[in-house]
A = this chain, B = another copy of it.
């Protein structure tokens, strides 16, 4: 950004017309003579004129920028969400400003302030784990900035939401295990504090019951990461000898469990089947490859962006509508870890 930038004034001066004429000519205004239009556009091209979005924003009070607050980019699910967001945003002429909360509440508050200062038109958010207080979002809402939460949604706030069908995904995954002949299924679960953790547990339980199997609370063990899974899975299968399948709350946990099982000399999937949740790249890299539940991160991002842009368009015309919640369906991806030869 510098003195070398061409403005409408520059073009006007060189052509001996007024800035307003140039402005109108450039937008193909009907009341400008074809001749003027031609001269103006030609010179504009020659000089490489590009409208200054900053000036446009100041006038229109629209920045054509949407803000994104995300816990961590270095995570396959979230980075695929970003790709989805970008795709839709760019189609509609919006740009995306991304902030990471790094799972920190303080950082998240700073992020909202930064995004407000930059007057983003709307906001997409997946909550930091730490966040319990939603005042910073309520503030944005006071300023009429529409917010759409996705995945880690905010239950205390009236906003649009996009969530993954965690219950359905878990249900389908566990049912697949049962139909494949596995009977005693361990669930390495997420936190019951998180909605997604509870939903997956419920999907697991209902799948068992719907298929005439009994739920054993001892087989629901909180464990949501690779290291812990690697440490404790061996002991758990010793304690519960009949376990013939493991359903983990995410891929990394599943992979930790897989390694622990192999270390015990048990075969995957012949002795014990393993099922993940996320369907990140890692699922294809393990040996055996990991069956998993695809969360369609890209679709989540797209849907959230569509909702937000819809809200932005409506905002100009109508009253507040009631918040919407969209559920993105999951897909079971069966690979080697649940397929007995």
Contacts and interface: CB of A to CB of B under 8 A. Distances in A.
A317 interface: no
A46 interface: no
B286 A61 contact: no
A86 B100 contact: yes
A226 B48 contact: no
A97 B100 contact: no
Given A73-B73, A82-B73, A83-B74, A61 B1 contact: yes
Contacts of A96: 97-98
A284 B54 contact: no
Interface string A59-101: 0011101000000011110011011001000100001111110
A22 to B, nearest CB: 17
A311 interface: no
A133 interface: no
A53 B118 contact: yes
Interface in A240-279: 252, 255, 258-259, 262
Contacts of A2: 61, 143-145
A5 B143 contact: yes
A139 interface: yes
Contacts of A119: 1, 52-54
Contacts of A95: 97, 99, 114, 118
A113 interface: yes
A175 interface: no
Interface string A1-42: 111110000000000000000000000000000000000000
Contact of A285 (B61, B110, B226): B226
A325 B182 CA distance: 58
B52 A55 contact: no
A321 interface: no
A171 B164 CA distance: 45
